[in-house]
Chain A
């Protein structure tokens, strides 16, 4: 009888659990369920945060959307692997918006996958809006010393600045010390999903190189 009661209880609990999970799994969480303070992700969130300030969690409407690695590379002027050697913060680049500040990262290039070869390039990232640090969930945040793969578009001449911006927010991948790559949270974009599947920087670079 003891075993029967345990079996019945286990079956009941399993049925309830299956029903609860079933009801939730087919339905994406509504925005109302998004709790900024407690939202958990599989990936290490630390690479998406700025450690030294408040956050401005940001949604971007990319003009080049839903591209995979190859598509993103084809839309780009330059694709490189390298290491961040310098970060100049608080740079005003936008015309007519003094509240948008950029960090210009200098990258020592170790491999040029696409575009004109150079030893170093500058990447401008909007990292501050109205005094708050910008956090984009599709995009890890690099620091000096970070090994990165960058998919880049040249800054338009009207800004009178040599350098590049990301082709879209998926165009920045961090390379960990073990050679694996980190892209968007939870595989949130086609690039992030692909990077997660390919795992290593070498595989990601090979895919980018296949864009020709």
Chain B
């Protein structure tokens, strides 16, 4: 057995071991934020939020600011109409959705300015207002939708109406920044 023969056999054995290990290794726990927010991730963790529109929506947006501030994000409300990178506006829309978040300006692969809309026509309770505002702020941070009872990032009207981010959400937000 010469050295070359030995090396080739070693590579083949190592490859077989690696293949076997790959086959036996269970997949990592699946994160459930899908591909993240279609509106991307706000490009800074310093959020200056312009809050306006219906009073109930403003209150909910201030609540959401406290929720997202429990992460690496440093969010604060600022005077409108200038000097903000997030706007949260509550009005009455004919659509069936509770809320929406859009990226208004891209900066490379991240979003430089996001706007949140809260639908005062479809949201009828304080809990739903809070959930919707926090949910939309999750999109501002780049989170996608989830299917779990522990997070505000679920869709639909079905209870439980969770108004907070769970540990997975917070960790995902922190990972984005």
Contact = CB atoms under 8 A, between A and B. Distances in A.
A156 B93 CA distance: 10
A172 interface: no
Contacts of A61: 97-100, 132, 135-136, 155
B38 A65 contact: no
A118 interface: no
B121 interface: yes
Given A60-B100, A61-B99, A96 B39 contact: no
A18 B22 contact: yes
Contacts of B34: 28, 188
Interface stretch (A79-87, A105-113, A127-135): A127-135
Contact of B11 (A8, A39, A97, A159): A8
Contacts of A121: none
Contacts, number: 216
Given A31-B33, A61-B97, A137 B38 contact: yes
A12 B39 contact: no
A30 B173 CA distance: 10
Interface residues on B, range: 35 or more
Nearest to A136: B38
A149 B125 CA distance: 33
B167 interface: no
A34 B35 CA distance: 7
B22 A15 contact: yes
Interface stretch (B62-70, B72-80, B141-149): B141-149
B36 A31 contact: yes
8 contacts: A1-B8, A15-B16, A36-B106, A61-B99, A63-B96, A65-B157, A93-B94, A158-B121
Interface of A: 1, 4-5, 7-9, 11-12, 14-16, 18-19, 22-23, 25-39, 56-66, 93-97, 99-100, 102, 124, 126, 129-130, 132, 134-137, 153, 155-156, 158-159, 161, 165-169, 188
